Amino acid sequence: MVWGMSESFDPHLQELRRGTVVLACLRLLRTPGYGYSLLEQLESRGFTTDANTLYPLLRRLEKQGFLTSEWNTEDSRPRKFYVTSADGSSLAETLSQDWVNLSRSIASLTDDLGTPEEN
């Protein structure tokens, strides 16, 4: 029974987490990073993401101007390094603020005494 339940929760959890990967990328890429290194960093920090989601996402964020990229050919294999741009930083700031507001709102829903109207 518990099994069936947690499976039906999965799509909702995925939906809720989708946007957090963008925020995590923008924060982590304040120091330059390449695809696979970022995948591992995300994993170790609890933002487990599929490679086939992350790699296209990085290019999309670059296209939108929130990341900039540069090829590094000095290492053993050439890698594309991404860095958060100024626009990316302010997007991250806005998303973080929204996250704080949302978690406050959710806390008020969870807490019975949170909403004065309900008394």
Q: Which residues bind other proteins (CB under 8 A)?
A: 34-37, 39-40, 50-53, 55-56, 59-60, 71, 77-80
SS (H, E, C) 53-102: HHHHHHHHHHHCCCEEEEEECCCCCCEEEEEECHHHHHHHHHHHHHHHHH
Task: Give the integer Cα–Cα distance in Å for 65 and 87.
Answer: 7
**Which residue lies nearer to other proteins by CB, 49 or 84?**
49
In the complex with other proteins, the residue whose CB is nearer, 35 or 87, is 35
**Whole-number minimum distance, CB 31 to other proteins, in Å?**
17
- CA 16 to chain CA mean position, Å: 11
User: Cβ 45 to other proteins, closest distance in Å?
Assistant: 17
Give, for 83, the enclosing helix (H) or strand (E): strand 79-84
Which residue's CB is nearer to other proteins, number 53 or number 108? Answer: 53
CB of 108 to other proteins, least distance (A): 32
Could you tell me how many helices (H) and strands (E) the chain has, helices first? Answer: 4, 3
Based on CB atoms, which residue is closest to other proteins, 71 or 99? Answer: 71
Nearest approach in angstroms of CB 28 to other proteins is 16
